[in-house]
Amino acid sequence: MQTVPQANKAYAIRALLLVFAAVAPLLSILLIGAHLAVAFVPLFVSHLLLLYPTLVANCQWWGPVMTRFRTAEREVWLTIDDGPSPTDTLKILEILKTFDAKATFFVIGERAEKYPHLITEILAQGHALANHTHAHPSWSFWCLGPRRIAREIAACAETLRTTAERPAIYFRAPAGMKNFFVHSALAHRGLLLIGWTVRGLDTIGRDPLRVAERVEKDVVPGAIILLHEGKRTKREADFNPRCVELILQRLTARDYRFVIPNPEHLL
């Protein structure tokens, strides 16, 4: 996990942002007499500084975000969002088995409740589960208040009650966007916020080969790879499983192993 200096730095930045946001209105009032346009500058800058760590994925100004893990081997962590999917999950599990690869499935609570047999199968095959909110409010999660954010995280956490040997201790925000209230809600449940090192952009792409090429180009040992499931295209009904298969083929040929890292190795 992050070192104490890294965590302290993140929380120091968070404190400074909040202090500046509180002081900015006073500065604007003081500057009104000088020039009206100038008076709005502190407010504009403070809002910009609050939005940046919220909307920019992997930004650590609000708190720690794990974006890679420490390893001396050619290892990567494959993470798959938005499941479980009745069209994709079993196919992806079969592909993973073929390559002797392990993955973590960041699942949506509502879908986990709807397809419990897929959750059982993920665990039965030695993979891990992680929290990706209960309803996946991708367009609004970044601006939700503390109670709604806590409910989204808590409801999914309750759905994903797993064994003590394999607890669901990771969380990823929808689209990677998180606001000021997320870290406190995660701390309350002992969850770690997971970002990524490289993503295939498979939610907007249409060509599995392009997705695989993008991941292969940027991958390094200790990388966290972000993929998704449940998307279909006109040309590729098995779009997401095909992306997974191509990435496994290419990285296995380069002697990479797909593992689930220990929490203490996360950075």
CB 202 within 8 A of CB 243: yes
Is position 228 annotated as part of the catalytic site? Answer: yes
Please tell me which residue in 134, 136, 183, 228 is annotated as part of the active site: 228
Residue 218 annotated in active site: no
Options 35, 47, 81, 255, the catalytic residue: 81
| CB neighbour list of residue 145: distance below 8 Å, 6 or more residues apart | 181
Of 49, 80, 79, give the one whose Cα is nearest residue 179.
Answer: 49
- Cβ atoms of residues 97 and 244 within 8 Å: no
Q: Please report, in angstroms and rounded to a whole number, the separation of the first and last CA atoms in the chain.
A: 5
Residues contacting residue 105 through CB under 8 Å, at least 6 positions apart:
79, 80, 83, 84, 89, 122, 127, 128, 129, 130
C-beta of residue 131 within 8 angstroms of C-beta of residue 154: no
> Distance between CA atoms of 22 and 43, rounded to whole angstroms?
10
b/e per residue 8-28 (b: at least 16 CB within 10 A):
eebbebbeebeeebeebeeeb
Closest CA to 103 of 243, 233, 264: 243
* Angle at 104 (CA atoms; ends 102, 107), nearest 5 degrees: 145
Task: Compute the distance between CA of residue 135 and CA of residue 138 in angstroms, rounded to an integer.
Answer: 9
Encoded tokens for 244? 């997974």
Q: What residues are annotated to the active site?
A: 81, 228
